């Protein structure tokens, strides 16, 4: 055989160089302390406005204790798919707890929120079907749509008028149809018009799937999310979310009717062919579901902190978005080159905040995540640091 002398992996070097030129390259920041409102990075303590740990539960001693105890009793790994050796009483308890919290008949726990969305969307529709999705939906919903082989129609962000036009035009071409949206949008900090979407779904005979990843623990009387906050509990829909943001652990779930969950147990590939959620993650998540409902003061404090930070930002002359009081606050950055420089400089100034850039989002933005455990002094300090970065913003 003749040797070509070509390196079949050389394209990787070129691809990475292209990323660098576009200022798309990302680096990892190593956190060397327990999760909290202040974390240690590179031997410095920085204010943490970068995490999804909205209620400060990821470092909560009760979650640590629940995970530790469960590991001592049952070990670490689930050892197999839930359908084989991987099903534990802990999983069932968590699912019962989730269904009660969400006020649905049933719930099913997946090994991540990503897996829950991907597998559920792919299981619900096929090549004869249609998906109507918000243009800014999270990657897991978009990839699930691709995997399903259904025809995908994207509607303008939160635009029910546009959604209706698409339904009017295309609904009749398909057997089943699914409308899919995030509730609290992770990269925009706004919420979907859920009641109007459900009304349209009824009119056009569509299923609705909502991803509550960021809304859990943040909205609703029991912290049960945007579905609860908008009075839509009890309406027929498919509620997906994760256990890894305000719930401080890891894993994903689907909550809905008995028949939906029974179907997914037989048809969702990411549930069937993946190892059950690990023992410590499961136990910690169950503890978090109980804490969120039992300690509404955390959610109330988060609400006050959101209000406080928005007010301070507005007073300091920042273009603070109006609308729903969301813990995700976005400030647009001038351009991607500025964005690339901004993150390390902010960090050196003592503020850990996410700079979100293409290709994750169309335009660069600074993303501040509020926690219930931020003190007023920490909120003030963050705005103080940010005021030196005014010229970086659009
Ligand atoms: C974070 C996120 C997910 C993924 O959840 P993981 O548990 O981290 O896999 C899914 N959907 C949305 C909207 C998210 O923000």
**Which whole number is the average pLDDT over 178-186?**
97
User: Residue 163: pLDDT above 90?
Assistant: yes
| Residue 203 belongs to a domain | yes
Of all protein residues, whose CA lies closest to atom 2 belonging to ligand 1?
A: 213
| Res 159: pLDDT | 98
Q: How far is the CA of 114 from the centre of ligand 1 (A)?
A: 5
Predicted confidence (pLDDT) at residue 302 exceeds the cutoff of 70: yes
The response to whether residue 114 sits with its C-beta less than 6 Å from ligand 1 reads yes
Q: State the pLDDT at residue 1.
A: 62
Which of 119-133, 250-264, 290-304, 329-343 is the least confident region? 329-343
Q: Could you tell me which residue, 341 or 193, shows the higher pLDDT?
A: 193
- Report whether pLDDT(196) > 80: yes
For residue 36, how far is its CA from the centre of ligand 1 (angstroms)? 20
Whether residue 20 is contained in a domain is answered as: no
pTM: predicted TM-score of the whole model, two decimal places: 0.95
Has residue 332 got a pLDDT over 70?
yes
Q: Binning pLDDT at 50, 70 and 90, where does residue 31 land?
A: very high
User: What is the average per-residue pLDDT within 241-262?
Assistant: 98
DSSP assignment of 135-154: TT--HHHHHHHHHHT-EEEE
Peptide bond into 359 cis (omega under 30): yes
37 with 116, same domain: the answer is: no
**Contact criterion met (CB below 8 Å) for 115 and 271:** yes
Q: Alpha-carbon distance 100 to 361, whole Å?
A: 35
Of 271, 294, 317, the domain-final residue: 294
Name the residue range of residue 383's domain: 26-54+296-392
Q: 213: Cβ below 6 Å to ligand 1?
A: yes
Query: Tokens representing 360?
Result: 């994750």
pLDDT of residue 322: 74
User: Region 136-157: what's the mean pLDDT?
Assistant: 98
Token code pair at residue 74: 């049952």
Q: What pLDDT score was predicted for residue 20?
A: 85
Name residue, tokens 């009075």: 231
Residue of 186, 192, 284 to test ligand 1 pocket, by largest number of atoms within 8 Å of CB:
186
Mean pLDDT along residues 301-325: 91
Residue at a domain's end among 294, 322, 341:
294
- pLDDT surpassing 70 at residue 2: no
Domain count for the chain, please give it: 2
Q: How far apart are CA 188 and CA 328, in angstroms?
A: 8
Outline where the chain has alpha helix (H): 10-21, 61-74, 89-102, 113-124, 139-148, 160-170, 194-203, 226-229, 258-267, 269-272, 279-294, 296-315, 336-348, 376-386
- One domain, residues 300 and 198: no
Residue 379 sits in a domain whose CATH number is 3.90.1150.10
Would the pLDDT of 23 be above 80? no
Say what percent of the chain tops pLDDT 90. Answer: 90
Q: Confirm or reject: Cβ of 186 under 6 Å from ligand 1.
A: yes
The answer on 215 and 276 residing in a single domain is yes
Average pLDDT over residues 340-346: 91
């Amino acid at each position: 055989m003749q040797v070509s002398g070509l390196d079949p992996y050389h394209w990787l070097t070129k691809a990475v160089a292209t990323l660098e030129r576009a200022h798309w390259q990302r680096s990892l920041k190593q956190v060397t302390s327990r999760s909290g409102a202040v974390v240690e990075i590179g031997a410095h303590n920085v204010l943490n406005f970068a995490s999804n740990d909205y209620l400060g539960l990821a470092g909560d001693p009760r979650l640590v204790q629940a995970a530790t105890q469960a590991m001592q009793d049952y070990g670490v790994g689930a050892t197999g798919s839930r359908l084989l050796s991987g099903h534990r009483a802990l999983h069932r308890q968590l699912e019962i707890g989730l269904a009660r919290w969400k006020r649905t008949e049933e719930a099913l726990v997946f090994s991540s929120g990503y897996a829950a969305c991907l597998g559920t969307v792919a299981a619900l529709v096929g090549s004869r079907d249609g998906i109507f999705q918000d243009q800014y939906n999270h990657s897991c919903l978009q990839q699930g749509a691709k995997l399903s082989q259904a025809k995908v129609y994207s509607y303008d962000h939160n635009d029910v008028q546009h959604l209706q036009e698409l339904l009017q035009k295309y609904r009749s071409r398909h057997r089943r149809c699914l409308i899919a949206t995030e509730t609290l949008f992770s990269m925009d900090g706004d919420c979907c018009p859920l009641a109007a979407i459900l009304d349209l779904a009824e009119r056009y005979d569509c299923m609705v799937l909502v991803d509550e990843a960021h809304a859990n623990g943040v909205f609703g009387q029991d912290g049960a999310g945007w579905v609860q906050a908008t009075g839509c509990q009890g309406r027929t829909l498919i509620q997906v979310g994760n256990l890894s943001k305000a719930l401080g652990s890891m894993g994903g779930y689907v909550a809905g009717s008995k028949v939906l969950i029974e179907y997914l147990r037989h048809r969702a590939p990411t549930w069937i062919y993946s190892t059950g959620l690990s023992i410590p993650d499961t136990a910690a998540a169950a503890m978090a579901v109980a804490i969120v409902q039992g300690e509404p003061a955390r959610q109330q404090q988060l609400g006050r902190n959101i209000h406080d930070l928005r007010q301070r930002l507005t007073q300091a002359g920042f273009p603070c978005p109006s609308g729903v009081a969301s813990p995700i606050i976005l400030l647009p950055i001038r351009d991607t080159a500025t964005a690339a420089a901004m993150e390390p400089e902010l960090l050196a100034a003592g503020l850990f905040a996410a700079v979100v850039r293409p290709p994750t989002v169309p335009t660069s933005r600074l993303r501040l995540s509020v926690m219930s455990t931020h003190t007023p002094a920490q909120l003030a300090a963050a705005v103080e640091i940010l005021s030196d970065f005014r010229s970086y913003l659009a």
